[in-house]
């Protein structure tokens, strides 16, 4: 081995790519699914399929305001989310440390809709930004992985710099296995390079204070830092048993809309005797959380809090680019496909790493461990995600703490996939690990549509192409892809 720039960069790309890649596959898969977190939550609450979207009425809002106030007097840090085109329901929610959960209300009359308790698509959001490992260490790990991705991207460019433009679309599946995988890895990496670099960079900067705690700014880039976090159980300490009666919310909403713009308010937050009508994340490109505060007692306007200048707007712009909550459906699909291709590209990189080291180190413990972890993130994680959807429909809807049980199912299945991967990697036929997990994934993905049919009210089934059918069809396509890979692996 000679000590040239290209070889040195190759080594850096290989090792940073492998160690970071194990985390980044989880981050990219979780992030891609989190793009449709609201839609997945809808799919996981099939009771909502009977309800047609209806406009928010003032009576309903006032009623929900009183309910939220009752919850707050019981010590729960509840807030209200208003209906949006993506989620046309009124919700009273609180943060349980990992996700925002709560009760769904009909926006027309404010009556509760009995839905099953679920973490919904927010599990994937948590998995994406902190690997479900808490806001400190989890975020820090993903931060380091994001920097690793940037390093891997640039070192990858340096390695292939001479042939980047000439080989831009080159894919030779008929060549040797390593060549074909390498072509696929480079192809996906180059084509989606702008997306991946942008996501890694914006993601890293958004959570930058985690990596530099000494420069922590709280909610940096957002106006008003007054919202305290109560992660454990959503309890609001000292919120008082004697909360004052709440003035009607509807007039406050109308006043706030006059200031912030019609249909822009998405959240109603309660703080120390005030009510904040906060701009929805989907209202503008730069996520600003501008809000108008009112007195809780008489509903009089106290203040309008907006981003003061462009320096503060930077954080919002980065969040807007990364979270893409403002964008239309086609744009979110564009992000979703890009995220999935990124995930596949990194999985391909992990597989290439194993291919390179297999001839010399196939019997060593570390190689087998690397293969086990690779199988667990490339095929085990999609299997766990699918089991989460299955568990949602198979656990009966009034099971106590069923939201937590669903999440436990996700992690149990992932752990089982890891054990299975270890058993196969440490045996004589490691390829079986991939193959069997692909087969199980394909079987469960292809039958998700019948499961949806059986566990959902058939009333709204012929209503056109709704969110339920979209999820079913997407998972069906993934199932077909897994079946194809399974067949190819059998044929090899």
Query: Is residue 174 part of the contact set for other proteins (CB under 8 A)?
Result: yes
Sign of CA dihedral 62, 65, 69, 70: positive
The stretch near other proteins (CB under 8 A) out of 70-78, 201-209, 228-236, 391-399 is 201-209
Q: How far is the CB of 408 from other proteins (least distance, A)?
A: 35
Output 174 or 396, the one with its CB closest to other proteins. 174
**What single DSSP character describes residue 430?**
T
How many residues touch other proteins under the rule CB under 8 A: the total is: 64
How far is the C-alpha of 445 from the C-alpha of 447, rounded, in Å? 5
Output 160 or 432, the one with its CB closest to other proteins. 160
Query: Is residue 1 part of the contact set for other proteins (CB under 8 A)?
Result: yes
CA max distance for the chain? 77
How far is the C-alpha of 254 from the C-alpha of 106, rounded, in Å? 19
**Interface with other proteins (CB under 8 A), residue from 335, 410, 434, 478:** 335
Q: Where are the alpha helices (DSSP H) in 78-192?
A: 122-130, 139-159, 177-191
Q: How far is the CB of 188 from other proteins (least distance, A)?
A: 8
**Interface with other proteins (CB under 8 A), residue from 111, 161, 461, 484:** 161
353-362 burial string, b = 16+ CB within 10 Å, else e? bbeebeeeee
How far is the C-alpha of 354 from the C-alpha of 20, rounded, in Å? 15
Q: Tokens 């196939």 label which residue?
A: 362
How far is the C-alpha of 206 from the C-alpha of 139, rounded, in Å? 10
Cα 379 to the center of its chain, rounded Å: 18
CA nearest 18: which of 134, 114, 148? Answer: 148
**Interface with other proteins (CB under 8 A), residue from 170, 303, 399, 453:** 170
Radius of gyration of the chain (CA): 24
**Interface with other proteins (CB under 8 A), residue from 9, 40, 67, 438:** 9
Query: Is residue 140 part of the contact set for other proteins (CB under 8 A)?
Result: no
Output 12 or 259, the one with its CB closest to other proteins. 12
**Interface with other proteins (CB under 8 A), residue from 201, 390, 444, 468:** 201
Binding mask 392-431 for other proteins (x = CB under 8 A): ----------------------------------------
CB 307 within 8 A of CB 223: yes
For other proteins, the binding residues (CB under 8 A) are 1, 3, 5, 8-9, 11-12, 15-16, 147, 150-151, 153-155, 157-158, 161, 165-174, 187, 190-195, 197, 201, 204-205, 208, 211-212, 214-215, 217, 220-221, 285, 309, 311-312, 314-315, 320-321, 327-328, 330-331, 334-335, 337-338, 341
């Amino acid at each position: 081995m000679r000590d040239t720039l290209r070889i040195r960069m190759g080594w850096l790309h290989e090792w940073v790519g492998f160690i970071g890649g194990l985390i980044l596959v989880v981050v990219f898969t979780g992030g891609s699914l989190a793009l449709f977190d609201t839609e997945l939550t809808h799919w996981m609450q099939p009771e909502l399929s009977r309800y047609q979207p209806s406009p928010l009425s003032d009576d309903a809002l006032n009623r929900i305001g009183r309910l939220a106030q009752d919850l707050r007097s019981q010590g729960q840090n509840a807030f209200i989310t208003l209906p949006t085109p993506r989620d046309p329901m009124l919700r009273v929610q609180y943060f349980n440390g990992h996700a925002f959960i709560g009760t769904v209300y009909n926006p027309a009359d404010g009556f509760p809709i009995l839905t099953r308790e679920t973490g919904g698509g927010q599990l994937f959001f948590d998995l994406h930004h902190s690997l479900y490992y808490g806001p400190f260490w989890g975020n820090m790990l993903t931060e380091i992985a994001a920097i690793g991705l940037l390093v891997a991207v640039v070192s990858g460019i340096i390695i292939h710099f001479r042939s980047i433009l000439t080989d831009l679309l080159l894919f030779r599946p008929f060549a040797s296995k390593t060549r074909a995988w390498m072509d696929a890895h480079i192809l996906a990496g180059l084509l989606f390079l702008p997306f991946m670099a942008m996501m890694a960079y914006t993601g890293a900067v958004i959570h930058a204070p985690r990596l530099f705690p000494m420069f922590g700014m709280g909610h940096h880039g957002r106006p008003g830092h007054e919202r305290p976090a109560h992660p454990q159980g959503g309890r609001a300490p000292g919120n008082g048993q004697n909360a004052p009666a709440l003035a009607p919310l509807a007039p406050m909403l109308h006043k706030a809309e006059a200031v912030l713009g019609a249909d822009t308010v998405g959240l109603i937050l309660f703080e120390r005797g005030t009510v904040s009508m906060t701009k929805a994340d989907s209202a503008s490109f730069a996520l600003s959380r501008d809000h108008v505060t009112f007195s809780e007692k008489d509903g009089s306007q106290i203040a309008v809090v907006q981003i003061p200048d462009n320096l503060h707007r930077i954080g919002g712009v980065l969040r807007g680019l990364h979270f893409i909550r403002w964008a239309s459906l086609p744009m979110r699909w564009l992000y979703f496909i890009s995220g999935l291709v990124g995930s596949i590209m990194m999985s391909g990189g992990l597989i290439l790493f194993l291919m390179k080291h297999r001839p010399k180190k196939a019997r060593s413990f570390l190689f087998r461990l690397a293969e086990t972890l690779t199988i667990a993130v490339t095929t085990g994680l999609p299997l766990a995600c699918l089991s989460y959807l299955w568990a949602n429909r198979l656990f009966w809807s009034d099971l106590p703490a069923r939201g937590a049980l669903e999440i436990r199912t996700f992690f149990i299945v992932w752990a089982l996939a890891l054990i299975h991967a270890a058993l196969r990697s440490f045996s004589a036929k490691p390829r079986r690990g991939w193959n069997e997990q692909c087969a199980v994934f394909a079987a469960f993905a292809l039958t998700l549509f019948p499961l949806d049919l059986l566990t959902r009210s058939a009333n709204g089934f012929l209503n056109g192409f709704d969110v339920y059918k979209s999820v079913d069809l997407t998972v069906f396509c993934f199932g077909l892809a897994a079946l194809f890979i399974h067949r190819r692996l059998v044929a090899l």
